[in-house]
Structure 1
């Protein structure tokens, strides 16, 4: 089903909200008001937003640690994100973990697994369950190009292909596996070149075009739902900040960053909307004011939440 004008505006809003939340988190981390490390999707917001928006509410996602947009599309509120970042007692992990390690199966979100890409075989297992139950549902998982060099990637993709499970595999190729460039990660021209060897469709898209990502995932999900098995989608993008907040990323050439900055996903969608007569300066000003207020309120609400108690260390564990 083609995107409606409202859908196109919603895609833009989710990307703007994702960046607003992460920009606020970046500032808070610099002030020592967060716990743990911070990883952001700055510059690659189109992928998690476009991918999640293409799914049905009863589908399941297994996101990676940069996929703020997936959580927001699935209904995770900014206050929940900040509570998690601040290690609050009422957060998704009750203050025992931080970052986007948010799991909520009621919203179809598999909790993030730190060892990449171990969410991939889990997503394949979820998809296998859908197939065995004959449910018309799809699982989607995301991972970076560096994680595609692990044994878990090959085992999971091969099993998914052989068993034709309804899973969509989204590779967020952001140019750097921490500090390792693609030419030192794999010998093929692209990650998607591996798809024929597994006997599955492979698609490469502009990862900074949210509508292109949405279209690719929607097509892959429809094929999976119809019994066509998995699809490998490689989304080309750029990580515009360091691997985490403690990484200055001085190994990235300035020219590379400048070239990708000119292809910013938010600016691109805003231009598409304006060209279609769906956006103007007044709408932009109103949206940014709305998001600033929403994020500020979320930060204050999260900071007011209760911190974990010493006795909480014995709760939520197998043995104490």
Structure 2
């Protein structure tokens, strides 16, 4: 990830390969995580972002390293762009003591203040007002920093989304909202979540800049996010980005998604973001069959190492599970009126 300036720079050959590599890395990590889940080697459910790799990778790539980032459980690509390693991810999936949550959680609840990465909150859109709060803090301190968070089409129906979007718009908070319109909120189709022809209209209604992009085109996502980041960094307020895509799997790996029409899945399968970007890069001479094989091999070895490392790492001892959950009390229990 390179440091972005106020000028919207075109993606270089190196940038394009970085984007592609992170998309491959996300896809392969999630495939291995699903395999481990089915082998009963993880300690909780696994949620994937298959078909949505271009959104999390492309959007996060537009940020500077010190910008605030609040991704959710389908945004593994954003974690990877911010520097989270496969070892950290698999330790989290397997509930190891050396994971971000020290074995207390198995999802992508990975936060790191040194990376300006805020752990996701499981409640729908609860991370949205948190990201707005980050942006507000940058604004108050006079810092040219930006916050970014992600949400789904279903999340736009919640009260916290309304509160966060409205506050951000009225105060011109430097925050970017990336909405993955993946057609389904668990088993509810998007047309039952809102009555808009374009979900980007949500942002327009609050008076903020809004744009709809092809969520399967990583370059389109990057440029939309980069423009939004530049706007926010220079005091022009928030942007709502609707990235149109399709969730190419169930809500979690335990969900067979029988409610999704097969014809719909087949249509979107032809738009697979990873395959389309690979084809595009090859046509432009930026990627070769040899380079594809090299990237796949390096990532496979990286994942093998990460799984091995996680399995060799200790689990959280049961007598330590409640340690650090609540603040330690050192005062007197004899309260005086």
Fold shared by both chains (TM-score > 0.5) = yes
CA distance in 2, matches of 1:196, 1:54: 22
1:102 to 89, 110, 114: 110
Name the residue aligned to 2:167: 159
2:236 to 217, 224, 228: 228
2:76 to 42, 49, 68: 68
With structure 1 as the length reference, what TM-score do the two structures score? Answer: 0.99
1:133 to 125, 131, 141: 141
Name the residue aligned to 2:5: none
Name the residue aligned to 2:271: 263
Name the residue aligned to 1:40: 48
CA distance in 1, matches of 2:326, 2:252: 31
Unaligned residue ranges in structure 2 (runs of 5+)? 1-8, 329-337
Describe the SS at the equivalent of 1:191: coil
CA distance in 2, matches of 1:22, 1:308: 23
**Alpha-carbon deviation of 1:314?**
3.0
Describe the SS at the equivalent of 2:178: strand
Name the residue aligned to 2:293: 285
CA distance in 2, matches of 1:73, 1:294: 16
Describe the SS at the equivalent of 1:169: strand
Deviations 1:31-56 (A, max 9, x none): 00001111001111000000111110
Q: What pairs with 1:45-124 in structure 2 (closer than 5 Å)? A: 45-124=53-132
Name the residue aligned to 1:172: 180
Name the residue aligned to 1:239: 247
CA distance in 2, matches of 1:46, 1:230: 21
Name the residue aligned to 2:35: 27
Describe the SS at the equivalent of 2:230: helix
CA distance in 1, matches of 2:208, 2:16: 29
**Alpha-carbon deviation of 1:319?**
4.9
Q: Count matched residues.
A: 320
Describe the SS at the equivalent of 1:122: helix
CA distance in 2, matches of 1:105, 1:252: 39
Describe the SS at the equivalent of 2:167: helix
**Alpha-carbon deviation of 1:274?**
1.1
Name the residue aligned to 1:196: 204
Describe the SS at the equivalent of 1:223: helix
CA distance in 2, matches of 1:42, 1:10: 18
**Alpha-carbon deviation of 1:195?**
2.0
- Indicate whether 1:182 and 2:196 are aligned: no
Residues 87 and 307 of structure 2 are in contact (CA less than 8 Å); yes or no, is this contact kept in structure 1? yes
Residues 165 and 203 of structure 2 are in contact (CA less than 8 Å); yes or no, is this contact kept in structure 1? no
CA distance in 1, matches of 2:194, 2:162: 13
Describe the SS at the equivalent of 1:204: strand
**Alpha-carbon deviation of 1:117?**
0.4
CA distance in 2, matches of 1:267, 1:244: 22
Describe the SS at the equivalent of 1:205: strand
CA distance in 1, matches of 2:286, 2:65: 26
With structure 2 as the length reference, what TM-score do the two structures score? Answer: 0.94
**Alpha-carbon deviation of 1:240?**
0.6
Task: Tell me which stretches of 4 or more aligned residues in structure 1 moved more than 4 Å.
Answer: none
CA distance in 1, matches of 2:307, 2:204: 46
Describe the SS at the equivalent of 2:89: helix
CA RMSD of aligned residues (A): 0.9
